[in-house]
Amino acid sequence: MKVMIIGATGLLGKGLMRQWTGAELIGTGSRDLDIRDGARVREFIGKNNPEWIVLAAAYTDVDGCEKNPDLAFAVNRDGAVNVADAAKSVHAKLLFLSSDYVFDGTNTTPYEINDVRNPQSVYGHSKAEAELRLLEILPDACIVRTSWLFGVGGKCFPDTILKLAATRPELDVVNDQRGCPTYTVDLAAALIALCAKNARGLVHACNAGECTWFGFANEIVRSAGMNTEVRPVSSAQMARPAPRPAYSVLSATSLHSYGIEMPDWKDALRRYLDERQRVSGN
C-alpha cells in the first residue's frame, strides 16, 4: 500500500512516519507542499498516485487563527479541499484530522460523532467547514477528530509545563476546561489501524479518560517527580484571544466500533515522559 502523509514534519506526522510499517510512505511537510496551492497539490498527488492520503497538516495555533482568520481558512478549509479534490482525481482514500473545537463545549457527556457542530473559535469554524466540504467531495472520506495532542519533538502542553516547572515554584493552570489528552504515538497507531480497516465517515480518537488542564498539569509535575505547586484558576483569569470549549470530551464509541482501543491518558503520559527523557539524553 502506498500512503502519503501530508504534514509529516509535525508532531503527529513524525509519529506516523516512524510507526507505519509494511507500506510505501511518502512524507511531505509545508516546505515541500503548500496545500493552499491547488495546482501544486494536484500535480504532487497525481505524480505519486497514493492509495491513502493522511492529511495531518493544519494551522493549529488556536489564538493565531483568531488573529489571522484568512490564513486559518486558507490552510484548514481551502487547503483540505485542494487535497480532497486531488485525492478524488486519483481515486485515493483520504483520512483528515479534525478537532474537538468543532463543538461548543456545552455538553456534560462525551460528544458523539453525530452531535451538532457549533464551533466558537475561528480555528473550530475552519475545521468544521473543512469537514462539511470534504464529505461533499469524498463521501467515503474518514474524518478523525482528536484533542489535546501531545508528543515528543515539538511544542505541546506537557513540554511547556515541564519547562515552566523547572524554573518556577508555582504554576497557575485553568481548571474549568475538560477534555482528553492524546499521545501522538497512540493516535498514530489508531490512524494506521483505521486505514487498514478502510474506515470511512466520522471517528473520534483520543486516549481513554478525561481531565482538566489543571489535572493534566498536576499529573505531569507529579509523574516527573517535580515539586512545583500547580494551582487551579478559571479561564477568565487566564484570558486568551480564542474561546476554548469548557467541555470537549470525545466519546470513543466510533473508534471501538472498528475494534480499536486507545490506552488511558495517564499511561500515555508516563510513556511520553520516558520517551522525552530518552530523546533528550537526560
Catalytic residues: 123
CA distance 107 to 175: 17
Residue in 144, 48, 59 with CA at minimum distance from that of residue 94? 144
CA distance 84 to 136: 10
CA distance 173 to 216: 9
Residues 248 and 108 sit within 8 Å (Cβ to Cβ): no
37 conformational bin, left if phi > 0, alpha if psi -120 to 50, beta if neither: beta
From the number of C-beta atoms within 10 Å of its C-beta (0-12, 13-18, 19+), residue 4 rates as buried
CA angle 32, 63, 183 (to 5 degrees): 65
Total Cβ atoms within 10 A of residue 21: 7
